[in-house]
Structure 1
Amino acid sequence: MRINRILLAAPLVVVALVIQVSVLARLQLPGAVPDLLLLVVLALALVYGHVGGCLVGFGAGLLADLAPPSDHAIGRYALVLCVIGYVAGLTKPDSGHHRSATVPLIVVIGAAIGSTLMYAGVGALVGDTAARHVGLVGLLLSATLYDLLLAPFIVPLVMAVARRTDNDPLAADGSGQSSAGGRDPAYGWLGSGSGLKVGRIGGQRGGLLGKPSRGKGDRLKGVKRL
């Protein structure tokens, strides 16, 4: 994992954890607590891929396990976020960016459900039966709802910052060109691609006579990068 990714992920994770513990956990909302830390891990995994997502998830989860008022075994949430970050990173397309919000939205829903089930499952293995008393169905519904409400404000912003600081040519829009043959791909969740025109100039006819062709101008061929 590159140093610039660590320098960005570390403060984001710390800030998200502080807000979650000091603000969100004190709201006394019914069911689960909104998981801001999970959304930050998902956003970074969608940009960094499965390896970066796995490392960020493990570090964020371990920090959450150690931060007070932690009431569970150390490593429990680290395992959950490590797996979630790895799986979320697998959805990163080969082009490096998502064309719409559909895939990240599905990732958020799956992560909210998967992390709750995994956390409760690991807790059951170590003798923590709190999920039974609270109600697993209620936890799943509330966790999914809260994360979906927070996701539009957190995930796109973190993804945009991660692309900028990652020196990703896909995120470069100042020059209008990327490193792949001067093509300008879409940037962000709702990118629609770029329409580029390629000029084709008609050749001259006549060979030895050197007469230019008649009735043939420049033909433009539209190319849209998806």
Structure 2
Amino acid sequence: MNKTLQIIIGIIIIVIIVVLVVIFGGEREEKEAIKIGVVGHFTGEYATYGVPMKNAVELAVEEINENDGIDGRPIRLIIEDDVGNSSNAASAMNKLINVDGVNYIISAQGSAATSAITPIAQSNKRILVITLASAPGLTSVGEYVFRSVPSDAYQGIKIANFIDNSLSARKVAGLYVNDAYGVGIRDVVQKNIKTSLVVQEMFSSGATDFRS
């Protein structure tokens, strides 16, 4: 996903949050700030994905606040870095809800970390918008969890169709990262591909030696 697309998605996410605030926020006598939590991979191995999304969200919020916020209420972002770790993600989510008191959270995380926070959002009735994680089933936890990125169920089918219809291959092999994202893509491709899939191998994230 290139940076321009991430910026566009980030702006769309903020628009979604704005709509949800209008729907669920209710009337307020005072014009206090609307607190939105952002939890994601902002340092560590997966920061390449999380940081551009965070930048996009900050850019969108800056523009909204410069135009009198939402119904005169400014947006205040509370950003938590999970360092690409699921346990940290759960801790950050609990802090955002129980300490900071946010009602709306944006997830800029991979599937493994996101799966650790979706039940927390649902059980606390906090709206969570997933921007990067694509594992199937993340939104099935309940009505408080939404996503803006296509699930692996869609991406895997597209990959399988591309191999079948656009490549002149009789046999193919699959190589996937051994995490929630890689396993999800692998399973959907395997289920839908018609070309002969002769072997599938998994590798650990960060691996540099792919010799058997």
Q: Which has the larger share of helix?
A: 1
More strand by share: 2
- Larger relative contact order (C-alpha < 8 A, sep ≥ 6)? 1
Considering only CA atoms, is the larger Rg found in Structure 1 or Structure 2?
1
